[in-house]
Amino acid sequence: MKKYLTLENGDVFVGEACGDLGAEIDGELVFTTSMTGYQETLTDPSYKHQIISFTYPLIGNYGISLGTNQSDTVQAAAVVVKEMTDQVFHYQSVISLDAFLKQSKVPAISGIDTRQLTKIIRRYGTMKASLTNHPIVDQPKADRSASIIKSATLSAGDAKDVEHVVVVDFGVKDNIVKSLQRPGVDVTVVTPESTFEDIANLHPTGILLSNGPGDPTDYSDFVPVIQKLQDNFPLFGICLGHQLLALANGATTYKMTFGHRGINHPVKNLITGDICITSQNHGYAVDVDSVKDTPLEVTALEVNDKTCEGLRYPGRPVFSVQYHPEAAPGPHDATKLFDDFIEMMHVNGGVH
């Protein structure tokens, strides 16, 4: 069965249908250079409403495993691959990738020259696209009807005299929560509809602003809450949370041409001089020059294109990173940041 990928610029790719054969979808077309970790990528809430093209030519060879998802469902709108294999070789696999997509009602297309597709995205930038069962004439329109804010459930522990992290969930990955959970640390997850008073009443010793999809300016209603939170609690922002911390302090963000999506992005710490390899997934970035007129300080840059990868608020226990220290997938170079945040809470926690 044929499937048709029609790009906003008019280019059309024809391939074989896989995943949910009947489903047709509109979305934002992006690519990831990750060679492994497709299950974590597909279930990452940061990819909500996006059509993901994998540049690595063979996807699905180690199947789908239990306990690997980064949320309770596939978040991506659709999947584009060069080849999707049904030959699964891994002792932990319980189902093939194709069957997993069928169960999740997510369409996919194989037999596509994803390297050529990536060149188009790099040239013209991230664009809208449609995945259909028949050729179409009209340009695709992205589906904006669904909310990009994910609801969440409270999950604090019962232990006493512990550090208590409140995670503001803009689309949090499970491995962020798991990276925080350890003896002596409770985690409560709240939605961005929460007020400062709602969060303060939970008596946190620290706040984590999570990753998530979309334009950070779409969350402008929560910016005043962040301004109050950073005045009263240790605060750590990741990816979208990093961008929102910048907006809360007067910096600006911009849409990148094709974003950073992969697990091999080198980042230089401007304070220590160290370079770590990071996992990234974002289409917007903080304008480095705009930070100069704010109380924030740039602490890290992406080595290749010098985009802003880290911020801190000097004199306060407040910092953020653009990359994903929890990985899943990706290298673990930056996992120490969770230890740093917990130590920061231990020293500075509680309402000031």
User: Exposure pattern of 275-311 as b/e (b: 16+ CB <10 Å)?
Assistant: ebbbbbbbbbbbeeebbeebebebbbbbeeeebbbbb
Peptide bond into 224 cis (omega under 30): no
Instruction: Choose the catalytic residue: 18, 239, 276, 308.
Output: 239
Structure tokens at 216: 């950070």
Length of the chain: 352
CA–CA separation, 45 and 170 (whole Å): 8
Phi-psi region of 8 (alpha: psi -120 to 50; beta: other; left: phi over 0): alpha
Residue 283, annotated as binding a ligand = yes
Q: Is 243 within any annotated ligand binding site? A: yes
Question: Any residues with CB less than 8 A from the CB of 200 and at least 6 apart, and which?
Answer: 232, 351
Q: Which helix (H) or strand (E) is 186 found in, with range?
A: strand 185-190
Q: Catalytic one among 40, 163, 309, 326?
A: 326
Q: Is 279 annotated as a binding residue?
A: no
CB atoms within 10 A of CB 327: 20
Nearest to 256 by CA among 224, 287, 295: 287
Beta strands 25-32 and 50-54 are parallel
Q: Is 284 annotated as a binding residue?
A: yes
Is residue 259 marked as binding?
Answer: no
Q: Is 323 annotated as a binding residue?
A: no
Q: Is 230 annotated in some ligand binding site?
A: no
Is residue 260 annotated as part of the catalytic site, yes or no?
no
Does 37 count as an annotated binding residue? no
Q: Respond yes or no: is residue 324 known to be catalytic.
A: yes
User: Is 326 one of the catalytic residues?
Assistant: yes
Q: Alpha helices of the chain — where are they, by DSSP H?
A: 38-42, 97-103, 114-124, 174-180, 196-200, 223-232, 240-248, 336-348
Binding site residues, as ranges?
46, 212, 214, 240, 243, 281, 283-284
Binding site residues for L-glutamine, as ranges?
46, 212, 214, 240, 243, 281, 283-284
- The residues assigned a catalytic role are 239, 324, 326
